[in-house]
Amino acid sequence: FTGIAGPRLGGPLAGRIGVPSARMGMPTARLGMPSGALQARKGFIPPSRGFVAPAAAISARPGFMGPSRLAAPSLGLGVQPRGVDLNLNKFSLTDTTTSSRKGSVASSEDLADAVTFGTGFWKQLEGSEHSSLGEQEKTLLKAIFNPSLSDRRGEGELFVPPDPLFSYGQRLKILLLEELAVRNKRREAFFSTDFVMGDAGPTFPWAWTCAFQIKQGSDAKKRAPEQVALKPRPEYKVEASQLRPALASATPIFDERTEDGLRFRIYRLGDIEVRTVQDLEGEEEV
């Protein structure tokens, strides 16, 4: 390899390594090249001039002094480099952007003027302190921040309410209407005679069927024929207030919840089967 100088051999080296000289009355020793240690080939260059590799050896090695395998590949024509533009000089952080406001989420009051941050928002929503929110806003926000579906209350003082712009609020309303349609469909299916414990069907969570079979064991499927003979008795629903004391002391034979906190229960009072539905913060409905 070029540029790696070897040690100089000869007279100066003799003094450096402490070889006795003639001044001390001893014969001068000269370090010669061992005959068998280094056999120089033709064209050998003394070590004092450095070790130089033959030109043939350099040219014979593939890739030596040539393009590196790790070199970045060249971009083809028409191909733009991709990456993240970290140039912050293209915009100013002091500039403000004005957006058009077409109204608030609700149509009666202006939610934008009633927005409160942090824990004060939840106090107003729960009614524990005076609130500037209207009833429509409260109903909408309670549905959005359902404790069974949302954990935003855990943010504490760092909580930031949703954007009160009309366009964003309309998208939230569409999602809530879709969820409401699913809940109504589940109510109708639960109150119908086609609902069978242990085989709730695709309208309800799949875990309902699995959980019922675990609780009831091998007798779970045997309950299906008993429910086929059920007949609706709407006249008893008028007397639902008289059934509430009996329901309070009875143990439901079926008690399950959906992911949004809606609770479905079935009671057996003699020959009468009572089915109830209860919202997260509502009363039990027969």
Residues of the chain with pLDDT under 70: 1-82, 91, 96-115, 128-132, 164-166, 210-228
Angle at 153 (CA atoms; ends 148, 159), nearest 5 degrees: 140
Output the pLDDT for position 9.
46
Q: Does residue 251 lie in a domain region?
A: yes
In-domain check, residue 264:
yes
Q: What is the pLDDT of residue 243?
A: 82
25, part of any domain: no
Structural domain count, the chain? 3
Coil/strand/helix, residue 212: helix
**The whole model's pTM is what?**
0.52
Q: How far apart are CA 277 and CA 275, in angstroms?
A: 7
Domain boundary among 175, 204, 224: 175
Residues 270 and 204 placed together within one structural domain of the fold:
yes
Residue 276's beta-bridge partner residues?
Answer: 265
| Domain around 51 | 1-18+44-60
CB 117 within 8 A of CB 159: yes
Is 229 within a domain? Answer: yes
Identify the pLDDT of residue 75. 53
Alpha-carbon distance 278 to 262, whole Å? 6
Residue type present at position 56: A
Residue 99 lies in a domain: no
In a domain, 39, yes or no: no
Query: Could you tell me the end-to-end alpha-carbon distance of the chain, in angstroms, rounded to an integer?
Result: 95
238's enclosing H/E stretch is helix 234-238
> Is residue 30 in some structural domain?
no
